[in-house]
Amino acid sequence: MQTISELDLGHLPIETPEFCTDPSPWIEKARARHPWLATCNLGPVFISYRAIDDVMRMDDSLKMPGGEIVDLMGARGTGWGDFAEEMMLVRSGKDHARLRSSVSAAFGPNNVKRMRPVITGTISALLDEWAPRGAFDFAVFAANFPVRVMFGLIGGDVTKLPGIISSLEVQGSSFNMIVEDMPKIEAAYQVLWRFVDELIAERGPDAGKGDLLDDLIAASTRGELTGKELRQMLVFLFSAGYDTSKNLLTLLMNSMIEYPAIWERCAEDHDYCRKVVREQLRLTSPSNTYRVTTRDIVYRDVLIPKDTMLLFPLGISGRDPEVFSDPLGFDPDRPDRTAPLAFGRGMHICLGQFLAQANVEEGTHLIAQRLRRPRHTAPPTWRSFAGVWGIRSLPIAFDPSPFREAA
């Protein structure tokens, strides 16, 4: 048995723009030195699909980093620091179950199915506004979509959305752990805190809309959530609802520019869009995540000591050639139905995975009808790899089409 520090591992320069743009060459070199482990400036990195799948299920041996990230960012005593250390995502045991149960029904498959008319109505209205332009930054367009769906779920006033989008963008990148960004991260968090505080005050305890916000306020009134937990939960839901779906949709558009025949089929075949979204989740997806070991663990005869920070690059886990044939190709009809790891594993598996997939499935079908023959007008720029990865800017041109799906 060897400890993880004794292994000869390849180093991944995850902090560099070159790695963010195309991590595959470094991952391939790292696999040549070790089949499932590499290193980076934050700690060990799991680079095998099966190793990620196995280890992330060890809930009794892992925790989400909260205090560790707060200390790294120098965020003690800030509102964002409290959020990073106290939000649902970093809780465990009964606390985690209590917080997750307060919102889990709203994000279940049945409720998301009922949300699909809201999703299609939202994207159709945006396309009516944006499609006639013939060119725009697709990442900016996508930023206006999933969070509007979240507003519908919460019952928020979408006229307030423009004022918080920039803060949601900063909040989404906050766990990329760029220390120099801490002042703007805290400022953005305070904007979001004031927004949800006003949302709660405007709603009051007896609004009777019967939406998710009413449910959360009622849970707080019953003492099941503290006032602070209620507000942190809303900040978390808005941030997650904005960032993941927006980034996934932008990544998919970037892929489709390279596969015009697939894009054309998306416009005609709604069911095919599900396959396309699944394949995008396999090839490139937005989220990479961390865990900290709570005790010594042994995996495949390697000892990983307690308190080790581990990076799980979910966004590229589907590029493992041991699991997927032609891993860098895009094939929605590939016969291998191995599930993507994009939404994680274990008790912290993404709460909003069904809503995110529904957003992108419905969005893909309708966008493909209105934005024909998309092409790059400038190279995409990429976000930092650690945390929520994705494309920061995707300038495109296209042939506008007035075609709408028949009722």
Going by C-alpha positions, the residue among 48, 42, 12 that lies closest to residue 311 is: 42
pLDDT classification of 406: cutoffs 50, 70, 90:
very low
Q: Count the neighbouring beta carbons within 10 Å of the beta carbon of residue 64.
A: 21
Find out whether 296 and 305 touch, Cβ atoms under 8 Å. Answer: yes
Write out pLDDT tens, residues 48-91: 999 999 999 999 999 988 888 888 889 899 999 999 888 888 88
Q: Count the neighbouring beta carbons within 10 Å of the beta carbon of residue 90.
A: 21
- Asked whether residue 407 carries a pLDDT value surpassing 70, the answer given is no
pLDDT classification of 346: cutoffs 50, 70, 90:
confident
Task: Tell me the percentage of the chain whose pLDDT exceeds 70.
Answer: 98
Q: Which amino acid is at 373?
A: R
What pLDDT is stored for residue 213 in this prediction? 84
Pairing label, strands 62-63, 289-293: antiparallel
Segment among 16-20, 68-72, 104-108 with least mean pLDDT: 104-108
Write out pLDDT tens, residues 210-234: 777 888 888 888 888 899 999 998 8
Give the CA dihedral 238, 244, 249, 254, nearest 10 degrees: 140
pLDDT classification of 349: cutoffs 50, 70, 90:
confident
CATH code of the region 2-400: 1.10.630.10
Give the Cα separation of 106 and 104 in Å (integer).
5
Give the Cα separation of 392 and 397 in Å (integer).
17
C-alpha torsion sign, points 338, 343, 349, 351: negative
Q: What is the pTM of this model?
A: 0.89
Beta strands in 217-322 (DSSP E): 289-293, 297-299, 302-304, 309-312
